[in-house]
Amino acid sequence: MAIDLDKCTGCGACAIACAQENNMPIFEDDSDIPKRVSFLELMKVTNDRDAKYPDVEVCYIPKMCQQCEGNDPKNPKPPCVSVCPVVATDVGDDGIVSQVWSRCIGCRYCQASCPYEARAFNWWKPRYEGDFKNSLNPEVSIASRGTVVKCQFCSHIWKRERDRAVENGVLDINAVTYTPACVASCPTKAFVFGDLNDPDSELCRLLEKEKDRKFRLVHTIDEKDEKTREKLMHIKNFPNPKVYYLTSKAWIREMMRFK
C-alpha cells in the first residue's frame, strides 16, 4: 500500500470506514478513550510544536498495521508472528498478516513486539449502541474482551472476491484484486493498494515514479548503502514494512527517522 500524505486532508473518512467495516465497538460515551479500539489511527504531526502561523505546517498520517515482511520474502516472519505462542497471527496466502480473534489468548506478546503500535487490546466487552447493532458486518467476527486485534487490510473482502472468482472458474488467487475499506472511502484518492510482487501494478509503478517522495515509517534502512542494508536485514525482528508513504515535505521524512 502507498499513502500520499500530500493528498491527505485529515478528514478521517478512512478511520470511520475502517471502524464500520470491521465492527469496531462504538460507545455512546466516548470520553473514556481506553475503551476505544481502532485499527487505523490518524496521527496529526506538526513541523515544530512551538511554531506559530504562518510558519507552522501540519500533516496527517494514517497509521495502521504496516504488514511487515521480515527479512525473507519467501518465508515472511513479521516481528509479531514469531512471538505468538498459539499461532493466532500468521501470514496468509494473500501475503496479509492475519489475526484470528477467537484463537488469541490475550498474552499481548505480539503487541509488545510490534514496532508500530499497530495492535490493540480489547480491555472491554464490545458494545454497540442503538442502530449500530443493525449494521454489523457479517463477514467480520466480533472480537471478545481480552483479545488482541489489528488491521488485516480487509482480507475478508479478498476472500469474498476469491470465492467469487473461483465460482467463475478463475483458480489463480494472484489474479484476485480487491479494495480495502479505507482505500475505497478516501475522497482525495490518497491510498493506492495493490500487489508489490507485480512490477506492472499501479502501486509498483507509482513507487518507482515517486522514488524521491517515498519513505517508510521509522525505517531508515532504505537510506543506507547496500552493505549496511544487507547487515541490518539480518537483525532479529527486522520489520521490513510493506506500507509506503509519499511526501514532498522533507521535515516529515526527517521526523520519521530514528536518530
Cβ proximity to ligand SF4, 24 vs 110, nearer residue: 110
Residues touching ligand SF4, count (CB under 6 A)? 27
Q: Coil, helix or strand for 148?
A: strand
* Minimum distance from residue 242 beta carbon to ligand SF4 (Å): 9
Q: Which of 26, 107, 140, 176 binds ligand SF4 (CB under 6 A)?
A: 107
107 versus 255: smaller Cβ distance to ligand SF4 = 107
Residue 24, C-alpha cell as written in the block: 469496531
110 Cβ contact partners less than 8 Å away, ≥ 6 residues apart: 80, 81, 83, 84, 89, 119, 148
Q: Which amino acid is at 181?
A: A
Give the shortest CB-43-to-ligand SF4 separation in angstroms.
14
Least Cβ distance, residue 221 to ligand SF4 (angstroms): 14
Among 19, 84, 157, 246, binds ligand SF4 (CB under 6 A): 84
Q: Pick the piece of the chain touching ligand SF4 (CB under 6 A) from 6-14, 17-25, 109-117, 132-140.
A: 109-117
* H/E element, 149: strand 148-150
Q: How many CB atoms lie within 10 A of CB 86?
A: 10
Half-sphere exposure for 31 (CA within 13 Å, toward CB): 1
Beta carbon nearer to ligand SF4, 90 or 165: 90
Span from 44-52, 72-80, 168-176, 220-228 in contact with ligand SF4 (CB under 6 A): 72-80
Choice between 65 and 181, CB closer to ligand SF4: 65
Among 2, 97, 120, 143, binds ligand SF4 (CB under 6 A): 97
| CB neighbour list of residue 122: distance below 8 Å, 6 or more residues apart | 25, 37, 143, 144, 145, 146, 147, 148, 149
Residue labelled with grid coordinates 498459539:
86
In the complex, the smallest distance separating the C-beta of residue 126 from ligand SF4, rounded to whole angstroms, is 16
Residue type at 31?
Answer: S
With contact defined as beta carbons under 8 Å apart, do 204 and 214 qualify? Answer: no
User: Interface residues with ligand SF4 (CB under 6 A)?
Assistant: 65-68, 78-80, 83-84, 86, 88-89, 97, 104-110, 114, 116, 118-119, 148, 150, 239
